Chains A and B, each alone.
Chain A
Amino acid sequence: MNKIFIAVLTLWAIPTQADNWNTSVEAGLESRWFIQDARLPNQHSGVGLSLKLQPEFRYKSDDRKTQFALVPFLRYDAEDSERTHFDLREAYWRHIGDEWEVTAGVDKVFWGVAESRHLVDIINQTDLVEDIDQEDKLGQPMVSASTQKDWGAISLYWLPYFRERTFPGADGRLRTPLPVDNDRAQYESAAGQWHQDIALRYSHYFGDWDVGASYFRGTNREARLLPDNSGEWLLPNYDQIDQLGVDLQYTWEAWLLKVEGIYQKSRIDNFFATVAGFEYTFYQVAETSTDIGVLLEYQYDGRNAAAPATLADDDVFAGMRWSLNDTQDTAVLAGVAVDRHSGEQFYNIEAETRIGQNITAELRARFLTGSEPGESAFFVERDDYIQLSLSYHL
């Protein structure tokens, strides 16, 4: 702890506070309380502590045409050694020319419109040990080029190196009955992690419509988990895929209507998946500053049993977003995804606020109920948790 504190101070002292440089540090303390005892003998129970450190160094030239970013990330977890991990979230050089914007290095890219599932979003690998909601991503090495025309924006991506998904270790919670061996990943491509992936994206808006279309060819970010010869470990198997994606949003008054769809082709399966729904916001409820948004989304996924597993095969997500619109930016998002087939229910609550000027507090709670042995999420049935984190931003 002492060392980390010193590290924070050192990093803070380095930056020259000139206009071109922008630096910040986030240091967070997180406690995760698993409510039930673990199902497997070597998994930890009770409260687990972890630390997060994320400095950010950003440079912008006077003419704003050249940018540089360096964002290392460190998570130290006292209970699960596989959750202790380091990553470069961002480390890129960018040039913004008159016609083209070029980025080289490690960056993060988000595509899509839906809230309950990010289907078309495929550039970055999911940092699964960081959070099971799949919204935390590993930095992706890339060279990308974008151009803006009157008829829309085109982006091209060359992704020369593949990032493996992070899976919890044998001591960790929220894992499969057999642990995943992160060091023995299998690849369809002989090039392994060096398979050269490519992607293409079109994005624009027409009045109230926002549209996106994308194509990806390369290593699937999702893995099939297959037992090894000993039968004691699962190995991640990464296949080559072609994926077409479309995302659409129609914005009308307080309504946001959204749909995302993908068609994915591999040696294992060809399938279609979609997530579609709406968000409607009641502004200034009962003459307060509070807004309440209501979300409803349907998730369909047509993949077969051999493909990488998903929970979102035939599910309805219903949620509520509660924004206080106060000076502390207090907001709560609560939702439940119900599997129409098995009746499994996955509850998710996220609440955040700011304390003073530099500290943020966040509460996350995740519960699974109604899962029976043999059903898709049963292995995490005893992994309900409540997580409280405090972060200091400098």
Chain B
Amino acid sequence: MEDYKFLFKVVLVGNAGVGKTCLVRRFTQGLFPPGQGATIGVDFMIKTVEVDGEKVKLQIWDTAGQERFRSITQSYYRSAHALILVYDISCQPTFDCLPDWLREIEEYANNKVLRILVGNKTDREDREIPRHIGEDFAQRHGMYFLETSAKEAENVERLFMEIAVDLMEQAKCKELPKYDGSLGPLNGKTTSVNDSSCCLRS
């Protein structure tokens, strides 16, 4: 069943409690964990999606937002194809920290990495960051922008699908940043396995 054509690594970053884990759980497992505890270090999920009839596997690394885990989470930026920078629209400080996060990304991530700014928790009544502020910020820093709600499953699917589409386009244009992942050689092989089994069968 190893039939995916592409594998992309997506890393979620952002302050503690903005809902990174919930976004991932909503996307990969289709549920919203109400009492989700703080992530420790790094968490890992996988999800295969289909883009233009081709299977794309997303390896999603969900990092801890807490300051003390910063050193280990930073080490995951490097091999990422896409970085999702999350803030909480009902919490100004999480937005104020964005420049710091960008600086970190600048320092540790591949410079061609796809960056997406996500304002989470649109279901909340007490919005503090208007949509256009987030949009402006994203535009200024060359990021995609999306507002989501993990609770209401709003825009979550779209977020990851757009990433998959974008990365696939990049990959097809051979612009995909070279990364040294373990699955590099695996992709090509996957198809050949299926081909060979097909030949043998017929």
Decide if A and B are genuine partners: no
- Hey, which bits of chain B sit against chain A, CB under 8 A? none
Residues on A lying within 8 angstroms of B by beta carbon are: none
